[in-house]
Amino acid sequence: MNTNTIELFVGRLGKEPDLRYTKNQKAVCHLSVATTDGEEKKTIWNKVVVWGKQAELCTLYLKKGKEVFIQGYRELKEFTTNDGEIKKYEEITASLIGFPNL
């Protein structure tokens, strides 16, 4: 299942950026970004994936607690566990990352 919507938001990192490399040596960084629901004052955790040079820059400029600007596509994804159960989750693939507090 793939439903893409463009997202634009500012949040704070809940943990250190997780930089890895694919088998083809392409950089990919996973971020956990907290935002606040304005109405309920509830924290929302966003899974964000950053690719390429921007992914490498995330590990240089971002640390837990730092503010980050994200623009990207929100996707609803699903997978099947070994037990045959279908799990769904949302993920944002970033097209632009900003570091407002440098």
Q: What is the CATH number of the domain that holds 43?
A: 2.40.50.140
At residue 3, the pLDDT reads 57
Best CA proximity match to 11, nearest among 66, 93, 73, 87: 66
At residue 102, the pLDDT reads 56
Mean pLDDT per 10-residue section of the chain, whose length is 102 residues? 74 96 97 88 93 94 94 92 93 91 60
90: domain range? 5-98
Rounded to two decimals, what is the model's pTM? 0.84
Q: How many structural domains comprise the chain?
A: 1
At residue 20, the pLDDT reads 97
- Amino acid identity of 34? A
The encoded tokens of residue 49 equal 């994936």
At residue 101, the pLDDT reads 64
At residue 1, the pLDDT reads 44
